[in-house]
Amino acid sequence: MPRLAAALLLLSTSRALRVPETRSPAPAPAKLARRGLLAAAPFLALGAATAASAATAQENEFKLADRNRDGKLTKDEFGTWFEGNDLLNKKDLFSFDLSLPEIALDLTGLAGVVVGIYGVSYAYYLQQKTEAADAKVAKKAAAAKKKEAADKKAAADEKKAAAAEAKAEDESA
């Protein structure tokens, strides 16, 4: 426990002594969207592979049930397959009798969906943040330009006033 407290103290003091980093230019929104999709790609691929293997397993069950190999299930073949299917013949349909690999695949698919949603939403968040920063910079630039124009106009007005005063002095002399 004292080691943990010392590590946390060291971490907090090192943050205080850290030199602030300069902001690097924000990446383009399209690049952010690609990053989000690339982050989610492995999980989406795993989810697609799981769905494909489940569909293949279902087809294989029906192929095994087809005894005469004509590509169609007769009523007797279907009855035999249905009676042999433990999942369909359970009395308690909502019991969770899954094996560990099935649970792992379900959790992996769920993780893929969560990571996919997170990746896309994070890319959208970064895009909005970048656009807001760009708008703020553009607003500051417009304000500076407006101030510069006002300063030029004031200088020109002062110059005109000085010229008019000098002309009035020449006429009175």
Give 114-161 pLDDT, tens digit per residue: 898 999 999 999 999 999 999 999 999 999 999 999 999 999 999 999
Q: For the chain, how far is it from start to end, CA to CA, in angstroms? A: 93
CA separation for the pair 142, 148 (Å, rounded): 10
Picking from 11-20, 30-39, 48-57, 95-104, which range would have the lowest pLDDT averaged per residue? 11-20
CB-CB contact of 108 with 43 (8 Å):
yes
Ordered by start, the domain boundaries in the chain are 29-165
SS3 (DSSP) at 70: coil
